[in-house]
Amino acid sequence: MTTNTALEEKFREVGGKRPYVQRLFGRIAGIYDLMNRLMSLGLDRYWRKRAARYLALATGQTGLDLGAGTADLSIAVVNGAGPGTKMIGMDITPEMLDEGRRKLVRMGLQDRIELRVGDAEHIDLPDNSVDGCCSAFMVRNLADIPQGFREMLRVVRPGGRVVCLEISHPPGKIFGSLFYLYFYKLAPLFGTIIGKAFEEYNYLPNSLTTFPKAPALKEIMEEAGWSDVRYYYLNGGIVAIHVGTKAE
Ligand SMILES: C[S@@+](CC[C@H](N)C(=O)[O-])C[C@H]1O[C@@H](n2cnc3c(N)ncnc32)[C@H](O)[C@@H]1O
């Protein structure tokens, strides 16, 4: 049985990818931030800052952060934007949002970022109701990626942007091989030893195996209706930021 067939079997056992992902993040919510910092060697903060800059929310606007988790991307957006800019962070895993809420209170940002339980594939918001939509390391977890991008298009106002920050497939052969060695072998080892979470941190690399390469993800976004879609590789393509605009 290949690793991904085994993973699909696990999804089936609990009723699908969504409940599997929700339980998995529920179990690691308490160690999620620390593991992120360690496994990305601190780069994850810089990646989110860049994503926030591409979202480019103006003073007083409201953005949506899907798969907000512990709220780090929403925090990067409001810290980089003018006063009065607000974020709604949605996630299917209440435990991740609870961690996020505690962090927002510590930072005094609870009035600018509202965290709610919600599904990126069926967003509980009216059409054209937010000025922009972003996500960090969420899209890879969706059961139906095109459906996610169609929903984002529906809720963003005409002229607004979508920004997707995700792990990617580095295009360079040598660097790519080194990255895969790290991502498929060392990162799960860190997760198992430091985080005591073997299954959870083995899901991480496996979720990348079937995830589209950056040019293919761009096509998915275009087919979902996003215009002027571009992508930017960071750190040699370890991650990619895709940016699209909703036509006026
Ligand atoms: C890798 S974490 C990323 C969290 C956060 N965005 C960050 O930058 O650290 C992925 C998050 O996506 C959430 N998620 C997965 N599928 C989702 C869906 N269909 N709708 C909303 N959130 C989802 C998970 O619960 C998890 O909190």
Work out how many domains the chain is built from and give that number. Answer: 1
**Tens of pLDDT along 142-172?**
999 999 999 999 999 999 999 999 999 988 8
Distance 174 CA to ligand 1 centre (A): 30
Q: Regarding beta strands 239-245 and 227-234, do their DSSP bridges make them parallel or antiparallel, or are they unpaired?
A: antiparallel
Bridge partners for 182 per DSSP: none
**Tens of pLDDT along 172-213?**
888 888 888 887 788 778 777 776 777 777 787 788 888 999
Backbone angles phi, psi at 9, to 5 degrees: -60, -40
What distance in Å separates the CA atoms of residue 72 and residue 148, rounded to the nearest whole number? 20
Residue 116: CATH number of its domain: 3.40.50.150
Q: From the CB of 76, is ligand 1 less than 6 Å away?
A: no
* 134 has a pLDDT exceeding 90: yes
Q: Which atom of ligand 1 is nearest to the CA of 33?
A: 9
Structure tokens at 198: 């073997």
Q: Quick one: pLDDT at residue 232?
A: 97
Helix (H) or strand (E) holding 121: none
Site to probe by mutation for ligand 1, drawn from 17, 20, 25 as the one with most ligand atoms within 8 Å of Cβ, is: 25
Nearest residue (by CA) to ligand 1, atom 8, is: 136
Residue 83: alpha-carbon gap to chain centroid: 25
Distance 25 CA to ligand 1 centre (A): 8
Nearest residue (by CA) to ligand 1, atom 27, is: 69
- In this structure, are residues 48 and 118 in contact, taking their beta carbons and an 8 Å threshold? no
Distance 68 CA to ligand 1 centre (A): 6
Q: Quick one: pLDDT at residue 3?
A: 59
Least confident stretch, 3-12, 35-44, 61-70: 3-12
* 1 has a pLDDT exceeding 80: no
Nearest residue (by CA) to ligand 1, atom 13, is: 67
Helix (H) or strand (E) holding 49: helix 43-55
The number of residues in the chain equals: 248
Higher pLDDT, 199 or 132: 132
Q: Which atom of ligand 1 is nearest to the CA of 48?
A: 8
Q: What is the mean pLDDT of the chain?
A: 93
Q: Quick one: pLDDT at residue 121?
A: 98
Dihedral angle of Cα 126, 132, 137, 139, to the nearest 10 degrees: 50
- Give the confidence band of 109 by pLDDT, cuts at 50, 70, 90: very high
What distance in Å separates the CA atoms of residue 238 and residue 43, rounded to the nearest whole number? 10
Q: Give the range of the structural domain holding residue 22, as residue numbers without chain letter.
A: 3-245
Query: How confident is the model over 79-96, as a mean pLDDT?
Result: 95
Query: How confident is the model over 92-107, as a mean pLDDT?
Result: 98
- In this structure, are residues 162 and 156 in contact, taking their beta carbons and an 8 Å threshold? yes
Q: From the CB of 170, is ligand 1 less than 6 Å away?
A: no
Q: From the CB of 67, is ligand 1 less than 6 Å away?
A: yes
Task: Tell me the CB-side half-sphere exposure of residue 89, using CA atoms within 13 A.
Answer: 30
- In this structure, are residues 234 and 47 in contact, taking their beta carbons and an 8 Å threshold? yes
Backbone angles phi, psi at 86, to 5 degrees: -125, 160
Distance 67 CA to ligand 1 centre (A): 3
Q: From the CB of 24, is ligand 1 less than 6 Å away?
A: no
- In this structure, are residues 134 and 243 in contact, taking their beta carbons and an 8 Å threshold? no
Residue 120: alpha-carbon gap to chain centroid: 11
